[in-house]
């Protein structure tokens, strides 16, 4: 417990100085399609969801997808203790992808 209390200020400082990453439309599209297919590795999802993107439009998409992953109503636990999107989560993700594709065509 003491270790957790000591780690929190450190994590907050890291978050304050976190630099947004450059991602292209194609890179974001690729991650979204992998999520839609429930093929993405957890670490890849985690990186995409938790690291801001320099392009504000693409970061807005990232933030919308992040909301899906913040609520249990959109996910189910797999046998190997991972998490994937359920039908409701996939439906929300498909809607975001459709808007993303309309915006970028």
Residue-wise pLDDT for 15-48, tens only, equals: 666 788 999 999 999 889 888 888 766 567 778 8
- Domain ranges for the chain: 2-103
Longest dimension (CA), the chain: 51
Contacts of residue 97, defined as CB under 8 A and 6 or more positions apart, other chains included, come to 32, 33, 36
- Give residue-wise pLDDT tens across range 42-69: 567 778 888 899 999 999 999 999 999 8
8 Å CB contact between 15 and 7: no
Task: State how far Cα 63 lies from the chain centre.
Answer: 7
Entry pTM: 0.74
């Amino acid at each position: 417990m003491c270790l957790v209390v000591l780690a929190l200020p450190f994590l907050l400082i890291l978050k304050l100085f976190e630099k947004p990453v450059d991602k292209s439309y194609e890179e974001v599209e690729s991650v979204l399609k992998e999520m839609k297919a429930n093929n993405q590795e957890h670490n890849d999802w985690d990186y995409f969801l938790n690291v801001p993107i320099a392009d504000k439009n693409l970061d807005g998409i990232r933030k919308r997808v992040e909301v899906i992953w913040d609520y249990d109503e959109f996910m189910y636990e797999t046998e190997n203790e991972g998490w994937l999107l359920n039908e409701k989560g996939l439906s929300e993700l498909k809607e975001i992808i459709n808007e993303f594709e309309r915006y970028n065509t």
